[in-house]
């Protein structure tokens, strides 16, 4: 009888131990139980005729039901609103937004600019497909899930307005204070401009911005609160006005991403890594950010990089500054199979720019990057 009782106690103990072990196991995300997001507005089939006079007006507010994952304690879900021509099956998609909200509002002018960079004909209705990509984190595509597709008819207008340039110069730059040789900055829209320039620190190393080559006004400097990395812009409309303070240069020599907002009157400068790595499913590296293929930096012009590599016909790519990190990175909003303007993402809190598209034909390509001009080109070899 004692043996039976002892055996019973032992069995109960083992059962309790196994039960505790099961309770201590981490819950597993089951993607088969995930509910995809669903676009609820605008309604499929709606037609939008865009007009330049209404560029600052609301075009539409995209709304959707939230994605539902099988686990409650997850990071916030991120949604990417994607657009492509309805007959392209999202092979050349454009990311319109990345947000953790369940709606996104876009203005007429912004939609029109996106359509023009995609090659949509003006004055003609194009059927555009929209979908959502939902994910919990971008370290893996395991949590990726797509919504259904909503098709809208959108007619863009012609817009050939060219934004006026501003120029960078200063004792910390490669052109010095020669106002006839100042470096043109890339317009980003809404009075914001950017450039990558190699800056050299010194006790008298400074920068400023001018709007007319060969003239000292109009110009932008800063005030006593301005530092090497950020501060207010002080505008000097004419040479009759006081000359604003120059913007100081940081203590580290290197390539700096320089951003000037002439409307909000602020500036930022960010030291880049001075390196570039190629990743993407159009490349041999895939989307493994630890396997990026390094570019070669030009020995004479330190803001230029090049790489000859075998590329796939389809897919996308990006340029990373740090191996193993997703930011800083370079993508493109107007990229084509032969080249385009680069868009910078300094940190992972900033909007993720669209991928640079694959060349359309597989083979060897020379990729050339000019960060000062913020341009890239693809040339078949």
pLDDT score of 13 more than 80:
no
Query: What is the predicted pLDDT for the residue at 26?
Result: 61
Give 215-230 pLDDT, tens digit per residue. Answer: 999 999 999 999 999 9
pLDDT-derived band at 95, boundaries 50, 70, 90? confident
Confidence of residue 319 (pLDDT cuts 50, 70, 90): very high
Asked if pLDDT for residue 11 goes beyond 70, the answer is no
Least confident segment among 9-23, 32-46, 325-339, 367-381: 9-23
142-200 pLDDT per residue, tens:
889 999 999 999 999 988 655 678 999 999 999 999 999 999 999 988 889 999 999 99
Residue 76 has pLDDT above 90, yes or no: no
Instruction: Give the count of beta carbons closer than 10 Å to the beta carbon of residue 119.
Output: 11
Q: Residue 10's pLDDT band (boundaries 50, 70, 90)? A: very low
Find the farthest-apart pair of alpha carbons in the chain and give their distance in angstroms, rounded: 109
CB 133 within 8 A of CB 80: yes
pLDDT at 94: 84
Residue 9 has pLDDT above 80, yes or no: no
Could you tell me the fold of the domain covering 167-271?
Immunoglobulin-like (2.60.40)
* CA separation for the pair 59, 365 (Å, rounded): 39
Average pLDDT over residues 41-68: 94
Domain range list for the chain: 31-155, 167-271, 277-380
**Residue range 301-312, pLDDT digits in tens:** 999 999 999 999
31-155 and 167-271 share one CATH topology? yes
| Residue range 59-84: mean pLDDT, rounded | 88
- Token digits of residue 245: 């303070």
Say which DSSP state 245 is in.
B
- For the residues 362-373, what does the mean pLDDT come to? 95
- CATH 2.60.40.10 is held by the domain 31-155: yes
Which CATH architecture fits 277-380? Answer: Sandwich (2.60)
The neighbour count for residue 3, using CB atoms within 10 Å, is 7
């Amino acid at each position: 009888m004692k043996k039976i009782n002892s055996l019973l106690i032992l069995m109960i103990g083992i059962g309790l131990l196994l039960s505790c072990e099961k309770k201590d196991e981490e819950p597993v995300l089951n993607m088969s139980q995930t509910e995809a997001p669903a676009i609820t507005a605008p309604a499929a089939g709606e037609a939008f005729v865009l007009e330049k006079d209404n560029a600052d007006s609301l075009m539409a507010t995209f709304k959707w039901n939230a994605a539902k994952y099988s686990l409650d304690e997850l990071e916030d879900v991120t949604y990417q609103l994607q657009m492509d021509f309805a007959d392209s099956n999202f092979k050349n998609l454009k990311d319109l937004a990345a947000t953790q909200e369940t709606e996104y509002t876009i203005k007429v002018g912004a939609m029109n600019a996106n359509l023009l960079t995609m090659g949509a004909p003006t004055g003609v209705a194009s059927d555009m497909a929209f979908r959502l990509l939902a994910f919990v984190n971008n370290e893996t595509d395991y949590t990726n899930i797509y919504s259904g597709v909503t098709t809208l008819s959108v007619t863009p207008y012609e817009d050939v307005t060219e934004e006026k340039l501003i120029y960078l110069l200063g004792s910390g730059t490669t052109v010095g204070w020669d106002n006839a040789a100042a470096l043109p900055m890339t317009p980003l829209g809404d009075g914001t401009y950017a450039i990558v320039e190699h800056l050299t620190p010194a006790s008298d190393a400074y920068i400023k911005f001018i709007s007319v080559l060969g003239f000292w006004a109009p110009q932008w400097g800063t005030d006593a609160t301005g530092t090497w990395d950020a501060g207010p812009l002080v505008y000097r409309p004419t040479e009759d006005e006081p000359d604003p303070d120059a913007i100081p240069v940081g203590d580290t020599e290197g390539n700096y991403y320089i951003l000037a907002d002439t409307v909000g009157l602020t500036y930022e400068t960010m030291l880049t890594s001075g390196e570039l790595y190629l990743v993407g499913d159009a490349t041999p590296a895939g989307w493994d950010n630890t396997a990026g293929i390094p570019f070669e930096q030009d020995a004479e012009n330190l803001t230029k990089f090049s790489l000859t590599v075998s590329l796939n016909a389809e897919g996308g790519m990006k340029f990373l500054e740090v191996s193993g990190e997703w930011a800083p990175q370079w993508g493109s909003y107007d990229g084509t199979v032969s080249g385009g303007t680069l868009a910078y993402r300094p940190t992972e809190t900033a909007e993720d720019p669209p991928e640079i598209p694959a060349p359309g034909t597989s083979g060897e390509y020379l990729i050339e990057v000019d960060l000062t001009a913020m341009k890239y080109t693809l040339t078949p070899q």
